[in-house]
DNA sequence: TTTGGCATGTAATCCGTTACATGATTAG
DNA sequence: CTAATCATGTAACGGATTACATGCCAAA
């Protein structure tokens, strides 16, 4: 029951980039796919243990640096399972949107509240849009020649187009709500 | 620990539209906010029981129709808590995106797989875009005069702009991946 | 009579965050 | 010396979906 676990596949995917510790996994996930995928230690370490038990990753305990480090690598079996998963169609599921939920029932409160929510959301989106655009420039410069570049580009372009649309939506909604507010104040 | 529960507020919000059974709640949620918010019975019934225990909703057992129906209404206390929640800024959190995850590691598989995923996603978005636009027309005709109309409109407009952006993204990605495929076949 | 809709709920399982707990190394 | 970073884990808690379980009523 429940949804199929996807954290293990995110881990296997990251391990195709090279062997890593759990700690490094968390960092690299944050740096690369962090805009649309996050993992916490509470997920990572137990998931790694299960993957190792299933033979999808192998563990090398690294003691040469004096400090204990558990370095994980993807195995042949792990790579095969990852590929099979990558080829399966992703199932769409409805993302809960708390901002929209608060807006939908906003007639219960003064218009100033939803207006503030949308303004905050807009500011946040503008800021993230800048980050995404900067990241896009760096990525093209540094990794533009890699075969995987098109796929990396796709995820950034998703963020860019999505955030642009979000900002436009905020502007349209704010215009309407301001109009509504002056209308009702009169 | 864990995130604040939001299902109870979705329920309270729906109950501002009138008293309802758990079954009706599920239906009306599906019909109205279903594009960005879903609730299953596994959430609804326990949540309703807790809301009643806390005095945020009141229960009237309806036996006049011979069949047992538990009709819930929002109480004054419930409405006050709903309003307080509606005024608080929604916390943004990163939505996991399985399509992007599969694309990000798509270099592990043949390009045909990610192309198929994006094509499916595009078809799905186009279909939902049609639905949203039809819904928008009906909404304006039927509820255009309500004070809450602007808020209902906002949620539909969100879907419309978001889906348009998504379709555009699919087209851009497909163009790139097709180019990549012919390049690599040569 | 059988299918579909109305209606209520529980159980299993996994998702996911936050807090707790511990300790070594490194840079300022 | 001390703060930040590296590093590994567990515990607690609640969120959320899916499947299971049950049964009535109405319409075809």
How many residues are recorded in chain A? 186
Q: According to the model, what pLDDT value does residue A183 have?
A: 85
Beta-strand relationship, A69-74 and A57-62:
antiparallel
Residue B183 to residue B73: CA distance in whole angstroms: 63
Q: According to the model, what pLDDT value does residue B91 have?
A: 86
> Which positions of strand D lie within 7 Å of protein CB atoms?
6-20, 24-25
- Say if B90 is an interface residue toward chain A (CB within 8 Å): yes
Minimal C-alpha gap between A85 and chain B (Å) = 8
The vertex-A162 CA angle with A160 and A163, nearest 5°, equals 65
pLDDT, tens digit, 9 for 90 and up, residues B33-72: 999 999 999 999 999 999 999 999 999 987 765 667 899 9
Compute CA distances A28 → A19, A140, B34, B153, whole Å.
12, 18, 35, 40
- Say if B149 is an interface residue toward chain A (CB within 8 Å): no
pTM (two decimals): 0.93
Asked if A86 and B94 come within 8 Å (Cβ–Cβ), the reply is: no
Q: B68: Cβ under 7 Å from strand C?
A: yes
Paired tokens of A185:
């104040």
Q: Residue B136: is its pLDDT beyond 90? A: yes
Q: Which residue of B has its CA nearest to A110?
A: B87
What's the mean pLDDT in A84-99? 92
Of A10, A36, A176, the CB nearest to B150: A176
- Say if B43 is an interface residue toward chain A (CB within 8 Å): no
- Say if A167 is an interface residue toward chain B (CB within 8 Å): no
Q: Residue A62: is its pLDDT beyond 90? A: no
Under 8 Å between Cβ of B39 and B20: no
- Say if A107 is an interface residue toward chain B (CB within 8 Å): yes
Minimal C-alpha gap between B103 and chain A (Å) = 6
Location of structure tokens 């348009």 = B164
Which nucleotide has its C1' atom closest to residue A2's CA?
D17
Asked if B108 and A83 come within 8 Å (Cβ–Cβ), the reply is: yes
pLDDT, tens digit, 9 for 90 and up, residues B96-113: 999 999 999 999 999 999
- CA neighbours closer than 13 Å in the CB half-sphere of residue B175: 6
pLDDT, tens digit, 9 for 90 and up, residues A2-47: 678 899 999 999 999 999 999 999 999 999 999 999 999 999 999 9
């Amino acid at each position: 029951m429940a949804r199929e676990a996807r954290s293990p596949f995110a881990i296997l995917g990251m391990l195709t980039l090279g062997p890593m510790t759990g700690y490094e996994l968390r960092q690299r996930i944050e740096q690369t796919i962090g805009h649309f995928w996050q993992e916490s230690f509470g997920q990572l370490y137990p998931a790694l243990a299960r993957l190792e038990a299933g033979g999808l990753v192998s563990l090398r305990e690294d003691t040469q640096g004096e400090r204990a480090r558990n370095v994980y690598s993807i195995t042949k079996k792990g790579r095969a399972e990852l590929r099979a998963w990558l080829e399966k169609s992703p199932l769409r599921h409805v993302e809960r949107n708390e901002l929209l939920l608060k807006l939908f029932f906003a007639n219960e409160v003064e218009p100033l509240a939803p207006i503030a929510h949308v303004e905050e959301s807009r500011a946040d989106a503008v800021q993230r849009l800048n980050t995404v655009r900067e990241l896009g420039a760096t990525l093209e410069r540094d990794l533009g020649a890699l075969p995987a570049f098109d796929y990396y580009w796709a995820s950034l372009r998703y963020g860019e187009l999505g955030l642009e649309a979000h900002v436009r939506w905020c502007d349209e909604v704010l215009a309407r709500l301001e109009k509504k507010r002056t209308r009702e104040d009169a």
